[in-house]
Amino acid sequence: MKTLLVPTDFSQTANNAASYALQLAQVLKADIKLCNAIKVPAESFLADTVVWPLEDYASLKENVTCDLKIAITRLQQELQESIGDHAFSRIDFTSEVGSVADIVKNMVGAQRIPLVVMGMSGAGALSKLFLGSNSFDLIEKADFPLLLIPADLKYKVIKKIAFATDFNPHDVGIICSLVTFARNFNAEIMIAHIADEKYHSAEHEKVAQNFLSDITSNANYDKIYYRLVKNIDVAHGLDWICQHSFSDMIIISHGKHNILDAFFNGSNAKKLARHVNIPLMVYPKEVRSSALIAF
């Protein structure tokens, strides 16, 4: 039985991501597990002398458990209202002490969880722009796909998925994994390569054709097509994809060429962050073999 893991800090953004994950799970025929990372400041000094008593952990754990049960009740009500007796997913929870990234990574590995769904903040929030420190840290440490949901986005049927690529061979395996996800929705996959027209050459076309040939040979799916997105740089190209491609989800590989950097950093990042109004799925540098077939 597949399970989608949803880290939560009980914020509105996290609650919205959990609601999105719940609807997604109905299509994927998966369960939902809410996860909260308890931060006990036992190692932190307050006013140089005062330390949080470890015996207070039990009280903190009880409060978190209560909040998780409330969150599950809310999700169960949503499920009943939207789907009724035909609801598929079971909803569970867990909480552990530690950082979000470490706890989630350990749980994914131990329970073979194929996808983590997490909320992302509005533009300008925290030091990492619209991601927030927990999401950014999780991306850096993850060896599994991570789906980031904009703060106010409501679930809708996924009909078209955009995959941004720089033709890294690493992406072929990811696209094959993505096909197993897309089949659940009968969704199109648009493979998008962003390039400045003045630098695009016959050599680029040859690389593109070889890349697409590899995909055809390895991914048995007839709803994949290619589009060259002509733009001055990757950040502007990703902005165009988010705004004008009519995609319901964008996929980025955190690979060697690091197309992800263009998404989160640089002079255009704030502008781009304001425009991200679709889910963003990030595949890691190193993908576990189980993650490639688990959807």
Query: 112-128 pLDDT, tens per residue?
Result: 899 999 987 644 333 33
User: Smallest Cα–Cα separation from 89: which of 17, 146, 23?
Assistant: 23
pTM, entire model = 0.83
- pLDDT (0 to 100) of residue 295: 66
The predicted model gives 33-57 an average pLDDT of 64
As given in the structure block, the two tokens for residue 248 are 């319901």
Query: What is the mean predicted confidence (pLDDT) over 139-157?
Result: 86
- Give the Cα separation of 207 and 192 in Å (integer): 14
Judge whether 250 and 115 are in contact, CB under 8 Å.
no
Q: For 24-44, what is each residue's pLDDT tens digit?
A: 999 999 999 999 988 766 444
Q: Is the pLDDT of residue 270 over 50?
A: no
Residues 35, 94 contacting (CB under 8 angstroms): yes
Would you say residue 213 has pLDDT above 70? yes
Strands 50-51 and 45-46: antiparallel
How buried is 9 (Cβ within 10 angstroms: 0-12 exposed, 13-18 middle, 19+ buried)?
A: middle
